[in-house]
Amino acid sequence: MSRAAIYPGSFDPLTYGHVSIIERGLRVFEKIIVGIAINVRKDPLFTVKERTDLIRQSFPDESRLEVDSFQGLLIDYAQLRGCQVILRGLRAVSDFEYELQMANMNRKLDDTIETVFMMTEESHFYVSSGLVKEVARFGGAVSDQVPDHVEEALANKFSDPQ
């Protein structure tokens, strides 16, 4: 049995909340595969390559971390990668219903793959990529919510004429 877990998400961009789940996930699992979902319905700020690089830069020497991307169903990707565990972070209560629905749907699709939740650290409870983008777009400080290189990438995005 593989002891690898897939940590899926949009990661648009990586926040300290994600960093914390990856760090803690690496203490529990032998390997973490970050799966960046290519979602045709969402209009991401960062390309998959940019999101991959921002994640990789936070863990330059971590050989047990792989950053990959996938299209289509998460469960198909988990099967393709031979992973029995999907790792998700749970923040405030507001996440719960969405996460419960996804976990149940994924279990219906394949009940051999478990979704495992880690509670987000208190200090990252209200950190979300969406809010970070909104604040950064209008020049607000996000330095306590994202790593320095992500803050820089956000500033570059919003200073470029789009």
Residue (of 102, 9, 5) closest to 48 by Cα position? 9
* Minimum separation from the CB atom of position 98 to ligand PNS (A): 8
Cβ-contact 68, 38 below 8 angstroms: no
Contact region with ligand PNS (CB under 6 A), list: 5-13, 19-27, 45-53, 143-151: 5-13
- Would you call 63 a catalytic residue per the annotation? no
Contact region with ligand PNS (CB under 6 A), list: 4-12, 22-30, 48-56, 117-125: 4-12
Kindly tell me which residue out of 15, 52, 58, 106 binds ligand PNS, with binding defined by CB under 6 A.
106
- Residues 6 or more apart whose Cβ sits within 8 Å of residue 47: none
Residue (of 69, 67, 59, 87) closest to 3 by Cα position? 87
With contacts defined by CB under 6 A, how many residues of the chain interact with ligand PNS?
A: 9
Q: Is residue 105 within the footprint of ligand PNS (CB under 6 A)? A: yes
Rounded CA-CA distance 106/123 in Å is 29
Q: Which of 3, 42, 49, 64 is catalytic?
A: 42
Q: Is residue 9 within the footprint of ligand PNS (CB under 6 A)? A: yes
Q: Is residue 10 within the footprint of ligand PNS (CB under 6 A)? A: yes
The number of angstroms, rounded, from the C-alpha of 103 to the middle of its chain's C-alpha atoms is: 16
Toward ligand PNS, which CB reaches closer, 9 or 147? 9
Strand-pair partners of 114: 85
Tokens representing 75?
């469960």
Catalytic machinery residues: 18, 42, 91, 129
